[in-house]
Structures are given as structure tokens and as C-alpha cells.
Structure 1
Amino acid sequence: MDSSGSQTNYMGWRIDYANPRGEPGFVGPDSVHWRIYKNPVALGIGGVAAVLLEFADPRIRSGVWDHSTYKADPVGRSRRTAIAAMVGAYGPQSAARRVIAGVNKLHAKVTGSTPAGEPYRALDPELLDWVSATAVYGFLTAYDRFVAPVSAADRRRYFAESGPVARLYGVQNVLASEADFEAMMHRLAPRFEAHPIVDEFLTIVKTGKGQARGLGFFYRAMARAAVSIVPAAVRAKLQLGPEYDLSAIDRALVRAAAALAERFPAKDSPATQAPLRFGLPANFLYLSRRRQEALLARASAPAATATEPG
């Protein structure tokens, strides 16, 4: 649940989600992405689940742990990752392209070997595909499970919307459905393994290292919620036992926090700034669906959806 400032500054560069007026994003106000990404609780749970799925593969786990600042600065690292997601959803295309190009440039330098001696590089197409797939799966599943059900039609839209940004990152196998995710997961499953780094990562999440004190009960609930949406076969491979089972209290706490986030927008967040680019009110995403449709019809903004295929 990052502050808005953490979502508008990237490596010293301020991202302006409200300008240039009328510039399209890769998705727009009527997208499923805008609806899902506005909820920081869903993003937090989905993001942790995505990392767990990624860390099951020793190549990604070594690449992240050996070449990032996560151990020393988990909050800062998480915020930078969140910005990349936010700018792809809410930012104008020019800003999204700039941030993604920067991320790709950094990833081009990430190479090494796992403890078992297997070489890896961050721009390996297989790894790019899996990292993208875990994020797409994690955010959708977390929102569906803890915020509000996502219809079959909206799930199809969500996967389709993910394509342009994923391709900018170099993803070759873009998911079209949850069946695609499961097929990719089963193809990689023989590589998956438990490792102490997974436990170390979850300890950082559970303790809220670098974040506000006194909220340990909430961080623990978030960690368990994330583990609960990791497919059972991967959870078993990672040896995440009953200590990570989601209790009724955990579920109620997470859902209550998510419900509050659905109703009360964070000031100056991407979700409240991006609508201004299309002549819509800042609270657009927090209005009823009927009111949103009326405002979109009134605005008649042709730039409300992406005009480029990526």
C-alpha cells in the first residue's frame, strides 16, 4: 500500500499521469486493468504471489536476489516494481515506453549462474514470459479472490489488454487465458524447488521490513493471502506448510482493507490522476459503473484506449 509519491517518481524522473491531455495509454478508463490496479491491497497480495511463483525457478530467484537491492531496501525495490506496473496501466504511452525502456536496459546487465551452476540472463525469453505471466495471474487472482469477482468476459478482456505492454518488455508468449498460464506453469514445474531465499522473502513480507511499525498482524495476513493464491502444486514444491494457511480472521482483515481501498481513493495516485488526462473527474474509478459509463459517453474521448499495438 504505497503512498502516491512512490508511484509518481521513477529513478529521479517524475511521471505525470494527468498529462499530456488526451494522450492515450496502452489501456484506458473503461479497461479491466484500471479497475483492478486501483486497489493497492489486491496489488500487494498479487505482487507477493507473483514473486513466489518466480522464485520457484532458481534462475529468476538468483537473478533477483543477486542483482537487486531487495534484501537491503525491500520497500524501495517494491516501489520501483509497482511504478512499472502503474505506468503501463495508467500512464500515457510516452511515459510507459520510457520507463519500460529503462527497465529493459537495467535487465540487460543481469546475468550470472545459479548455485547449481546453471547460467541465466534476465532477458532470456523463457524467463521474461514467466515473470509477465506471474504478474498477470497474481493481480487478477488477488482482485477476484479478495475484492470482487471478475466475470469470464472481463477475464478475457484483462488478458487481451495485457499484451501490448508485455511485448514491450520482450515477452513472446503473451497469455490469452488462465489455461495459458497453467500450461506455462506445468511446462516449467520440473525446475521448481524450495529454497531458503523463499523463506527469507516471506519473512520480509510478514514483518513489514522498512514499513510502518505496529502493523505486523496485517503484513502476516497479506503474506498468507498471497500464499493462498499460489497454485497448490507450486506451494507444495516451495514447501510452504500450514503455517501459511489463511485463517478466517486473516481473510476478513484482508477483505475489509480491500473494501476500504475500493471506496476511498489515495490522494494524487495514478488511479486518480490518469482520468484527468481524458477529461474525467479524479474519482472516476470510484463511482458507480452506470455513472462511469455516462461520463465516458459525455467525454467521447477517442484517446481513451490504446491506438498502438505495442
Structure 2
Amino acid sequence: MLGMKTYLGWKVDFLQPAGEPAYAGPDSVSWRVFKNPIALGVGGIAAVLLEFADARIRSGVWDHSTFKTDPVGRSKRTGMAAMVGVYGPQSAARRVIQGVTNMHRQVNGETPTGEAYSALDVELLDWVSATATYGFLTAYDRFVAPLSEADKTRFYEEGEAVARLYGVQNPLHNEADFHAMLAKLMPRFEPHPINTEFLDIMKSGRAAKGVPKGLQSAVVNAAVSILPVAVRERLELGADYDLRPKGVATVKAMGALAERLPLPASPAGQACVRLGLPATFLWKSPEKQASIRHTIQEGRAASLAH
């Protein structure tokens, strides 16, 4: 089926049921941000680094997932989970998220230093959600298109319903919330070979077949660049990960191109079709989007009149 995607064995159809809303809508900041693969790539890598800074999350992922044998595949599946929450029909999002929660109930253990962890620990759930929110929003704002403070606030608000489905009890409402959570966890953060191994893999070309290594290196360094300075220092990600001016220009050019290049078969494009919009709707200018909506509304009014 054209709209069907598979995530951890669950099939999600982004085209069906026709008309069923997602937890955010076509006019949301979330739909704007998540359609851009550069924002997802940069933000996703930054989120992983922020998560792996805490030994409890790092151990949980390393010991209970395919990350150490298939880090690229695991990262892509994480990305698909985000897509389901943003673009999927609400019924599908609830089903998949409940499945993820059921799997997380099995994730328990101890870090190498003997500290117990559980994937359903509220502190860890809150932090994982916070890292994704911070990573994707900051990447889009920094490398694709600047967002107003009002739009940033909307992005935080739009993500709350899905975050709570995952069991998050303290979703972010603004960037200050993120930094408050970060300050609480910072004493736990530590450098680790897994971090650099992950970054080396993402730079190697395995993450996106056919994409030049130089571009992938720029994306990785862009991810490191949006980490809070204190986190980067704590993780000991030094000058090798500096994003040079040429790298900044490269990532921004890629982000701008992705903003204009429609991907009709993506979850974003298919979700638009599900809601009666053109598959290329999200890649059009705000003025053109408003015109399309007006035309559709006029058509529906005329149909009802007859």
C-alpha cells in the first residue's frame, strides 16, 4: 500500500483513514519543522548525544536495542517514531506509542557502575522527550529558517499531547524549561567512547547511502554545534567537531534546498493527502497555502450548496 510504513513491526498508513487528524495539523510549526530532513538529521544526532550523556540512557540503549550492531537503522526507526507522532493518524500514533511503552517495560538493568535504570523512569522519559524537542527545533531555527519566539512556543505546545502518551510528566513549554532540566542532570554527564563511535559512524557514509561523506561530516558537526557549550565540554567533543564557515554554509544550503524540494511520498506529503490537501502543500509559500485552503473551502461550500 502506497502510504504504509513499518515501524518496529507496526504498520502505519499515513494516507488512511482519510480525514483522520494527527496530533498536530498542516498549519502547525511541527509539520513545518519535521518535513525538513536536514533539521531531522542535525537535531536527531544532537538529541542522541544529549541522551547518551547520561549513563542510564546510554546503558539502556546499548544493552537492550540494536544500536551497537545497527546504529543507523536504529536511528532511522527513532525518526519514524517521531513521524508517527507528528503526521500519523491519531489512532495509529496511540497504537504505536502504546507498543513502544510495552517494549520499554522490559528495559531494566544496571549501568557499568551499578546504578539501576528503567526505561519507564519518569526522569529519563522527560529527558528523552526534551532532547528531541530541543534538537529538532534548534536545528531548524539555526540551519533552515529562523523561528519567531511565538512559533517556538507553539512548537513546544504542539508536542505536549504526544509526549504525555509516552509517559512524559514534565513536557517542555519553552527553552528555559529545557535548560532547567539540563542543569539538574548535568552532574551526571560524562564523556564515553560510545559517543565518538556513534559520531564516527554517522560521518562514515553509512547513515545515508549516496550522500558525500563531506556533507555528512558537516551535518554531524552542525549537530555538535547546537549542543549547549557546557554539554559539549563535558562530553569532550573538541576541535575535531568544529563547524567551519564552509560547513555552516553547506548545511544551510542543504536545509534551504530541502525546504523547497517536495517529498510527496514522505509521511509529511502523505499526511497532507489524507487531510484533503495536495501532497506538496507543506513546501509551498504561506500565501500559496492560504490560497489552496481558500479554494478547498469554497469547493466544499459549493458542494454542500448543491
Q: TM-score band, normalised by the shorter chain?
A: over 0.9
Cα distance in 2 for residues equivalent to 1:214 and 1:40: 13
Contact 1:7 1:82 survives alignment (8 Å): no
Aligned residue in 1 for 2:102: 105
Runs of 4+ in 1 over 6 A off after TM superposition: none
Aligned residue in 2 for 1:280: 277
> Mean alpha-carbon deviation: is it higher for 289-298 or for 34-43?
289-298
| SS of residue paired to 1:46 | helix
Q: Kindly provide the CA deviation profile for residues 151-173 of structure 1, in whole angstroms up to 9, marking residues without a partner as x.
A: 11101110000100000000000
Query: 1:162 aligned to 159, 162, 187, which one?
Result: 159
Aligned residue in 2 for 1:51: 48
- % identity of equivalent residues: 60
Mapping of residues 1-310 of structure 1, within 5 Å: 8-209=5-206, 211-212=208-209, 215-300=212-297
Contact 1:278 1:299 survives alignment (8 Å): no
Deviation of 1:267 after TM superposition, in Å, equals: 4.0
Point out which structure has higher relative CO (alpha carbons under 8 A, 6+ apart): 1
Deviation of 1:200 after TM superposition, in Å, equals: 1.1
Cα distance in 2 for residues equivalent to 1:111 and 1:298: 53
Aligned residue in 1 for 2:304: none
Cα distance in 2 for residues equivalent to 1:60 and 1:233: 19
Contact 1:6 1:83 survives alignment (8 Å): no
Contact 1:114 1:120 survives alignment (8 Å): yes
Cα distance in 1 for residues equivalent to 2:20 and 2:80: 19
Amino acid of the structure 2 residue aligned with 1:157: R
Structure 2 gaps of 5+ residues are: 299-306
Cα distance in 1 for residues equivalent to 2:178 and 2:297: 35
Deviation of 1:208 after TM superposition, in Å, equals: 2.8
| SS of residue paired to 2:19 | coil
What's the TM-score once normalised by structure 1's chain length? 0.92
Output the aligned Cα RMSD.
1.7
Cα distance in 2 for residues equivalent to 1:252 and 1:182: 28
Amino acid of the structure 1 residue aligned with 2:63: D
Q: Kindly provide the CA deviation profile for residues 96-150 of structure 1, in whole angstroms up to 9, marking residues without a partner as x.
A: 1111111111111111111111000111000000000000000000000000001
Cα distance in 2 for residues equivalent to 1:21 and 1:291: 23
- Sort the Cα spacing of 1:152 and 1:211 in 2 relative to 1 into closer, same or farther, 3 A: closer
Cα distance in 2 for residues equivalent to 1:6 and 1:13: 13
Contact 2:23 2:90 survives alignment (8 Å): yes
Amino acid of the structure 1 residue aligned with 2:54: D
What's the TM-score once normalised by structure 2's chain length? 0.93
Cα distance in 2 for residues equivalent to 1:131 and 1:6: 28
Contact 1:36 1:42 survives alignment (8 Å): yes
Contact 1:7 1:270 survives alignment (8 Å): no
Deviation of 1:12 after TM superposition, in Å, equals: 3.7
State which structure, 1 or 2, has the greater radius of gyration over its C-alpha atoms: 2
